[in-house]
């Protein structure tokens, strides 16, 4: 057997390589720099790397060649294992922008009184002398920045991967840093460690399913590459049982990552236990990356067998929306409420996944499901990042005040911040003139055009339920007084953040309003992304 030297298209892969290279550099910084300048160096390094990657993503996006008669743009790179096409660069740009917001929240020090939201020394036991020492000396883990970069690298590779093995590796590269970041909270460390344990065990369990699915589909098609799998699916060669079981197991792995029911169990625990900055980053960027991968796998590799997987997706979408919306109603913790709302949103995005697939099957003026999902991801990512950023600021003497009683009357004390949170909630609820409305409208339309009306009806019903619990928070913030006689330390107030968090929240508000009022440019951008390269 001959071994051929692989050709790698470095120019097209530059954004990905910059992020992963920056992450390795960050590890070296940890090893060689003394403690005092590390945080500044890491922060500058991470921001520069993300900005450079974003700039190169734009450069790559403008340079993609048209293929397949103009329906798609891009090329296969690295011997066909990674594909850089329109949807890939759109998702890259989105993930990078959201992670810039994530870095800003990671670096916030002012709300904790001069230290970051991460444990001073993760190895020190909670409540011991060692922990107090780490805290009084103002130590902090600057490893979180390289960890974030590794996660971002995995998130960029995930939707770009064009074979099952690359997709599995990307899945792990994005998950492993997130497991660690989840366990690094400075306050409520038992909760944080427990969340990390649950996330890790369930995540490893689900990636086992993903991998076994990959093995079975490989057994069916004789190749890991999506193009070859699609070919085998079209020609009906191979053992159908292997294909169906493999497809189901792959779906388990991916649906776990996006947090769809019945695999949503980890979402509320992890979102609540993780440091809120990590939750903000994870809830926004992971969803973007995992939906990109889900779409690519099911549209490109299994696209011609969609009658086998669509009924399953119908059921999962309906169940996800109902579970997310109904359970969110009974939540009294703002982080858990946002977690269940993210489950409901997963259901709405899955509704979009059910839509018509290719541009060739569309009437004039209709949008493709890919375009709708990309738009929804942008709208949702911005809103959830911003909402969790607000949660980091509402505090009492014990740290973040996440119980919803504590939020009573917040609108009177800090109208701007409560207004921003209200706007994010309205966007998630899908009220007109916010980004969320256009996103919902887009995914419902594409699902209707594919004849998935039962799913759309459920989606509309869940949206109405969802409006109830979103509006309840707005009522609590603006129209309720805190209980009389609450001790002063127990009343939640808004801590003044540094410019980093304020800028993130402000950018999120701006994006939500602008995309909501003038959705055209972003919809165009999603349309320009075109189709997946098959």
Partner 1 sequence: MTDVTPYVVLSAILFSIGAVGVLTRRNAIVVFMCVELMLNACNLALVAFAKQHGNLDGQVAAFFVMVVAAAEVVVGLAIIMTIFRTRRSASVDDASLLKY
* CA distances (Å), origin 491, targets 394, 397, 415, 418, 477: 10, 8, 16, 15, 13
* Interface with partner 1, residue 506, by CB under 8 A: no
Choice from 195, 258, 328, 515 touching partner 1 (CB under 8 A): 195
Choice from 70, 138, 208, 262 touching partner 1 (CB under 8 A): 208
* Interface with partner 1, residue 204, by CB under 8 A: yes
Q: Which is nearer to partner 1, 224 or 353 (CB)?
A: 224
Residue span binding partner 1 (CB under 8 A) among the ranges 65-73, 199-207, 285-293, 304-312: 199-207
90: Cβ–Cβ under 8 A, 6 or more apart, which residues? Answer: 61, 374, 525, 526, 529
Binding mask 142-161 for partner 1 (x = CB under 8 A): --------------------
* Interface with partner 1, residue 54, by CB under 8 A: no
* Interface with partner 1, residue 219, by CB under 8 A: yes
Choice from 118, 145, 200, 309 touching partner 1 (CB under 8 A): 200
* Interface with partner 1, residue 168, by CB under 8 A: yes
Q: Which is nearer to partner 1, 147 or 476 (CB)?
A: 147
**Which pair of structure tokens corresponds to residue 242?**
């292997």
Instruction: Write down the least CB distance from residue 19 to partner 1, Å.
Output: 18
Closest residue by Cα to residue 182 from 282, 289, 42, 286 = 282
* Interface with partner 1, residue 201, by CB under 8 A: yes
**Which pair of structure tokens corresponds to residue 188?**
């409520």
**Which pair of structure tokens corresponds to residue 157?**
């590779």
- The answer to whether 301 touches 246, Cβ cutoff 8 Å, is no
**Count of residues of this chain found to bind partner 1 when the rule CB under 8 A is applied:** 42
* Interface with partner 1, residue 191, by CB under 8 A: yes
> What distance in Å separates the CA atoms of residue 388 and residue 155, rounded to the nearest whole number?
20
CA angle 168, 172, 177 (to 5 degrees): 165
Instruction: Write down the least CB distance from residue 221 to partner 1, Å.
Output: 9
Q: Phi, psi (5° rounding) for residue 408?
A: -60, 130
* Interface with partner 1, residue 194, by CB under 8 A: yes
Choice from 100, 149, 156, 196 touching partner 1 (CB under 8 A): 196
* Interface with partner 1, residue 404, by CB under 8 A: no
Q: Which is nearer to partner 1, 153 or 516 (CB)?
A: 153
Long-range contacts formed by 463-466: CB under 8 A, 24+ apart = 463/325, 463/348, 463/429, 463/430, 465/325, 465/326, 465/329, 466/324, 466/325, 466/328, 466/341, 466/344, 466/428, 466/429, 466/430
> What distance in Å separates the CA atoms of residue 17 and residue 14, rounded to the nearest whole number?
5
Query: Which residues within the stretch 248-307 sit at the binding site for partner 1 (CB under 8 A)?
Result: 268-269, 272-273
Choice from 25, 55, 71, 215 touching partner 1 (CB under 8 A): 215
Helix (H, G, I), strand (E, B) or coil at 75: strand
What are the strands of the beta sheet with 493-494, ordered from one edge?
399-400, 394-396, 493-494
Footprint of partner 1 on this chain (CB under 8 A)? 1, 122-123, 125-126, 165, 168-169, 172, 176, 179-180, 183, 189-191, 193-198, 200-201, 204-205, 208-209, 211-212, 214-216, 218-219, 222-224, 268-269, 272-273
């Amino acid at each position: 057997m001959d071994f051929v030297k692989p050709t790698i298209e470095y120019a097209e892969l530059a954004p990905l390589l910059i992020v992963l290279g920056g992450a390795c550099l960050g590890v070296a910084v940890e090893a060689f720099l003394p403690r005092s300048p590390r945080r500044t160096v890491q922060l500058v390094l991470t921001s520069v790397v993300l900005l450079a990657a974003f700039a190169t993503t734009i450069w790559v996006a403008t340079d993609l060649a048209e293929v397949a008669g103009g329906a798609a743009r891009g090329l296969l790179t690295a011997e066909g294992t990674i594909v850089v096409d329109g949807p890939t660069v759109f998702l890259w740009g989105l993930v990078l922008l959201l992670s810039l917001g994530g870095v800003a929240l990671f670096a916030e020090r002012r709300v904790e009184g001069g230290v970051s939201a991460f444990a001073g020394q993760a190895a020190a036991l909670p409540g011991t002398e060692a922990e107090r020492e780490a805290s009084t000396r103002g130590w902090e883990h600057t490893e979180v920045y390289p960890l974030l970069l590794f996660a971002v690298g995995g998130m960029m590779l995930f939707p770009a991967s064009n074979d099952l093995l690359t997709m599995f590796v990307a899945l792990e590269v994005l998950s492993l840093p997130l497991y660690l970041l989840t366990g690094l909270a400075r306050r409520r460390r038992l909760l944080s460690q427990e969340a990390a344990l649950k996330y890790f065990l369930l995540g490893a369990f689900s990636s086992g399913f993903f991998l076994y699915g990959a093995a079975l589909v490989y057994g069916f098609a004789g190749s890991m590459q999506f193009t070859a799998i699609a070919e085998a699916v079209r020609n009906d060669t191979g053992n159908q049982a292997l294909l169906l079981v493999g497809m189901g197991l792959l779906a388990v792995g991916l649906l776990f990552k996006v947090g769809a029911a019945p695999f949503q169990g980890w979402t509320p625990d992890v979102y609540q236990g993780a440091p809120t900055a990590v939750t903000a980053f994870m809830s926004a960027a992971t969803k973007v990356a995992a939906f990109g991968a889900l779409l690519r796998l099911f549209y490109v590799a299994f696209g011609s067998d969609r009658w086998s997987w669509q009924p399953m997706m119908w059921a999962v979408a309906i169940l996800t929306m109902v579970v997310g919306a109904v359970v969110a109603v009974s939540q009294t913790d703002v982080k858990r409420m946002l977690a269940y709302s993210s489950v409901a949103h997963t259901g709405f995005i899955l509704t979009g996944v059910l839509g018509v697939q290719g541009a060739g099957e569309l009437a004039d003026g209709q949008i493709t499901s890919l375009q709708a999902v990309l738009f929804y991801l942008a709208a949702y990512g911005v809103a959830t990042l911003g909402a969790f950023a607000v949660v980091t600021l509402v505090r009492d003497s014990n740290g973040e005040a996440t119980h919803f009683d504590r939020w009573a009357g917040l609108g009177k004390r800090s109208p701007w911040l409560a207004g921003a949170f209200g706007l994010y909630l309205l966007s998630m609820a899908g009220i007109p003139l916010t980004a969320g409305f256009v996103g919902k409208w887009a995914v419902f339309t594409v699902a209707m055009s594919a004849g998935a009306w039962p799913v759309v009806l459920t989606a509309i019903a869940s949206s109405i339920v969802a409006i109830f619990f979103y509006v309840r928070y707005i009522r609590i913030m603006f129209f309720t007084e805190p209980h009389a006689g609450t001790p002063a330390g127990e009343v939640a107030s808004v801590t003044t953040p540094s410019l980093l968090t304020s800028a993130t929240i402000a950018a999120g508000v701006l994006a939500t309003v602008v995309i909501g009022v003038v959705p055209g440019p972003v919809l165009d951008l999603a349309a320009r992304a075109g189709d997946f390269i098959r």
